[in-house]
Amino acid sequence: MKKKISIYGASGHGKVVMDIIASRGEYELGHVFDDDVTLKLFKKLEVKTSMSEEKLQEFPLVFTIGNNKIRKKIVEKTKHTTAPPMIHSSVIKSPSAVIANGTVVMAGVVINADAQIKSHVIINSGAIVEHDCLLEDYVHISPNAALAGDVNVREGAHIGIGAQVIQGVEIGKWCTIGAGAVIIENVPDGATVVGNPAKIIKN
């Protein structure tokens, strides 16, 4: 008998997470929650906008919200049981890598030895997280981004599509790394960086 989990966020990101759930074969969807009262159906499932404690607690939750700040806000206001990490069946993951509850790992990702992935992280399609990397809570790694070994990505940082980060670099809290950026040195908290090599355009 399949175990049930629910998702919070009836969006495009939610559709991808539903595919991950289907690929695993051990889970099926229980409820779909969203704050938007105009949403009625999501992939033929009823969207529940009344966030009753009874329904929220019925099954473990995956928060399918791409925006890091909004995801953190909703996680913190919602009394919930967080679902185990949802990892697509095509992911290549080292046995020594550790992935915390609430994190979502999409198709084609590679996670290598001794990487540590904290809670409510998104690792998007085709991304590479090399050995000894640390991804803190609420990080978002976009499609085809590549982190070399021993990279630390602090809470809430967003790494853009196709960005590349060389080994040993630290990405500060709540940073934004632009699409295609090449990061060759540490990035301070709250900075926005773009280009090759990446330059700070906002801090």
Give Cβ neighbours of residue 168 (< 8 Å, ≥ 6 apart).
Answer: 148, 149, 150, 151
Q: What is the pLDDT of residue 163?
A: 98
pLDDT digits 0-9 by tens, 91-121: 999 999 999 999 999 999 999 999 999 999 9
CA distance 10 to 24: 20
Section 149-158 average pLDDT: 98
Residue numbers annotated as active site: 131
3-state secondary structure (DSSP) of residue 77 = helix
Give Cβ neighbours of residue 169 (< 8 Å, ≥ 6 apart).
Answer: 148, 151, 152, 183, 184, 185, 186, 187
Span(s) in the chain for CATH 2.160.10.10? 86-197
CB-side neighbour CA atoms (13 Å) of 128:
14
Q: What is the pLDDT of residue 50?
A: 67
The model's pTM is 0.92
* Residue 73 binned pLDDT confidence (cut-offs 50, 70, 90): very high
On whether the CB atoms of residues 95 and 112 are closer than 8 A, the answer is no
* Residue 151 binned pLDDT confidence (cut-offs 50, 70, 90): very high
Lowest mean pLDDT among 18-32, 59-73, 152-166: 18-32
How far is residue 202 from each of residues 176, 194, 198, measured CA to CA in Å? 9, 10, 12
Topology of the domain covering 3-77:
Rossmann fold (3.40.50)
Which residue type, as a one-letter code, is found at position 38?
T
CA distance 176 to 21: 28
Topology of the domain covering 86-197:
UDP N-Acetylglucosamine Acyltransferase; domain 1 (2.160.10)
Span(s) in the chain for CATH 3.40.50.20? 3-77
